[in-house]
């Protein structure tokens, strides 16, 4: 396909001003003013007027239960699988799928199959091996083999710590797991990242800190997520990135009473204290269960995560005065760099043609291009998942 988007305010994520973007096939061919695509009428060109629109890189949601998740309240509480438009209508062009609490009825074979299905349907999808529990259940029999031999597998997760649903791994078990992920990633030229679910327990980041402080494993090998689930944990997270660590905020739904730190507040506090903002990412926990537990640990309520919360939280942060070029970095260039996703996270020549068009005033989604193909046009999904009605 040849797509030419004219007169759009482009954030690469850095602000580039009003300019044009030319897409050839699945790549960005050029970014600059007054571009043209004249093939003497021999090649059809889809020209989009970007006046009144903002263009940002396709969003990367690095923590999604693409198979569904949950089950903490019994079999009927297993959440549904994601479908293509759960992502495309919310600005997501790249996802990383994982398992959660349930690594029994949700398994690695099904996760890899779902990952491949999403790639076939039009977006880019990767996956992690394992689930909450250690020792983890892999597809090939080892962490290193999964990362090295399964093309779309780029790391391990989500491993649960400081949570009553965790398998309570020992320090030695966690160290060996992260070490194997690192070496597997190195040998396969992948990130080998270990995504770590942080619960609300009092131990917080203690085991992760010990792992990094007592071994040669670098900070970039582990990513504690749900770091803004409580104010105490978030404060630990601030200290963690100051010393070189990475944190992942969960884009919780807005307007719901909770003890979490909203993303806009989290970004503001991080920027005010001026640690490395490049070490901050954000994900949705999409399709994951959002259980509520009483003081005895019994599940008393359940919600379902949604990838829609990423764009919701971006808009909320901009409304509260934060610059757009900053708040999109955690879900574009920052996470692309950490996960070593070549060609992702930026609008520049040679990068993958993953583009999101937003209304300049409301920041509502208007259009989306993934791998050079228009999937959303004029707010409507023109391409849907195989079994979407």
91-116 residue pLDDT tens: 999 999 999 999 999 999 999 999 99
Distance CA 270, CA 142 (A): 37
Local confidence band at 353 (pLDDT 50, 70, 90 cut-offs): very high
Asked which of 40-44, 116-120, 184-188, 246-250 is least confident by mean pLDDT, the reply is: 40-44
Local confidence band at 219 (pLDDT 50, 70, 90 cut-offs): very high
Local confidence band at 258 (pLDDT 50, 70, 90 cut-offs): low
Distance CA 48, CA 377 (A): 10
Q: What pLDDT does residue 28 have?
A: 98
Q: Is the pLDDT of residue 299 over 80?
A: no
Radius of gyration, alpha carbons of the chain = 20
Q: What pLDDT does residue 87 have?
A: 98
Catalytic residue (choose from 102, 285, 316, 352): 285
Cβ burial of 145 (10 Å; 0-12, 13-18, 19+) is middle
Distance CA 296, CA 209 (A): 29
Q: Is the pLDDT of residue 298 over 80?
A: no
Q: What pLDDT does residue 218 have?
A: 97
3-state class (DSSP) for residue 333: helix
Portion of the chain with pLDDT greater than 70, in percent:
98
Alpha helices (runs of H) in 289-358, residue ranges in sequence order: 308-319, 324-327, 333-338
Q: Is the pLDDT of residue 45 over 80?
A: yes
Q: What pLDDT does residue 291 have?
A: 67
Local confidence band at 362 (pLDDT 50, 70, 90 cut-offs): very high
Tokens of 168: 């309570």
Asked which of 222-226, 275-279, 353-357 is least confident by mean pLDDT, the reply is: 275-279
Q: What angle do CA 55, 387, 58 make, to 5 degrees?
A: 15
Q: What pLDDT does residue 114 have?
A: 98
Q: Is the pLDDT of residue 148 over 60?
A: yes
The enclosing H or E element of 54 equals: strand 53-57
Q: Quick one: angle between helices 171-188 and 206-214, nearest 10?
A: 60
Q: Identify the bridge partners of residue 3 per DSSP, sorted by sequence position.
A: 23, 46
- Torsion, CA 335, CA 221, CA 144, CA 165, rounded to 10: -90
285 is catalytic: yes
Q: What angle do CA 332, 233, 274 make, to 5 degrees?
A: 55
- Quick: pLDDT tens for 366-387: 999 999 999 999 999 999 999 9
Q: What is the mean pLDDT of the chain?
A: 93
Q: What pLDDT does residue 289 have?
A: 78
Q: Which whole number is the average pLDDT over 280-301?
A: 82
Asked which of 78-92, 167-181, 224-238, 286-300 is least confident by mean pLDDT, the reply is: 286-300
Q: Which whole number is the average pLDDT over 128-157?
A: 96
């Amino acid at each position: 396909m040849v797509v030419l988007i004219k007169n759009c305010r482009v954030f690469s994520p850095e602000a580039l001003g009003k300019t044009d973007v030319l897409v050839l096939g699945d790549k960005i061919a050029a970014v600059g003013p007054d571009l043209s695509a004249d093939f003497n009428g021999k090649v059809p060109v889809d020209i989009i007027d970007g006046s009144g629109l903002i263009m940002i890189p396709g969003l990367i949601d690095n923590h999604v239960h693409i198979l569904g998740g949950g089950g903490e309240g019994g079999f009927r509480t297993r959440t549904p699988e994601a479908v293509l438009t759960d992502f495309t209508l919310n600005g997501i062009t790249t996802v990383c799928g994982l398992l959660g609490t349930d690594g029994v009825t949700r398994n690695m074979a099904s996760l890899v199959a779902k990952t491949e299905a999403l790639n076939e349907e039009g977006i880019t999808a990767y996956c992690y091996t394992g689930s909450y529990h250690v020792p983890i259940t892999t597809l090939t029999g080892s962490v290193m083999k999964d990362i090295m031999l399964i093309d779309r597998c780029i790391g391990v997760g989500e491993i649960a710590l400081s949570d009553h649903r965790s398998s309570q791994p020992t320090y030695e078990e966690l160290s060996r797991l992260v070490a194997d992920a690192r070496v597997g990633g190195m040998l396969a030229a992948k990130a080998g990242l270990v995504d770590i679910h942080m619960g609300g327990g009092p131990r917080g980041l203690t085991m992760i800190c010990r792992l990094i402080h007592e071994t040669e494993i670098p900070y970039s090998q582990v990513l504690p997520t749900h770091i803004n689930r409580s104010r105490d944990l978030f404060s630990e997270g601030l200290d963690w990135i100051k010393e070189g660590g990475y944190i992942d905020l969960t884009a919780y739904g807005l307007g719901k009473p909770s003890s979490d730190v909203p993303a806009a507040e989290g970004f503001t506090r991080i920027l005010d204290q001026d640690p490395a903002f490049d070490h901050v990412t954000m994900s949705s926990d999409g399709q994951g269960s959002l259980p509520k537990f009483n003081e005895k640990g019994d599940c008393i309520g359940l919600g379902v995560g949604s990838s829609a919360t990423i764009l919701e939280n971006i808009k909320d942060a901009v409304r509260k005065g934060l610059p757009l070029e900053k708040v999109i970095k955690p879900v574009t260039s920052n996470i692309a760099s950490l996960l070593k996703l070549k060609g992702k996270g930026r609008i520049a020549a040679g990068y993958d043609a993953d583009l999101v068009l937003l209304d300049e005033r409301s920041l509502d989604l208007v259009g989306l291009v993934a791998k050079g193909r228009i999937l959303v046009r004029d707010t409507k999904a023109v391409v849907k998942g195989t079994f979407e009605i």
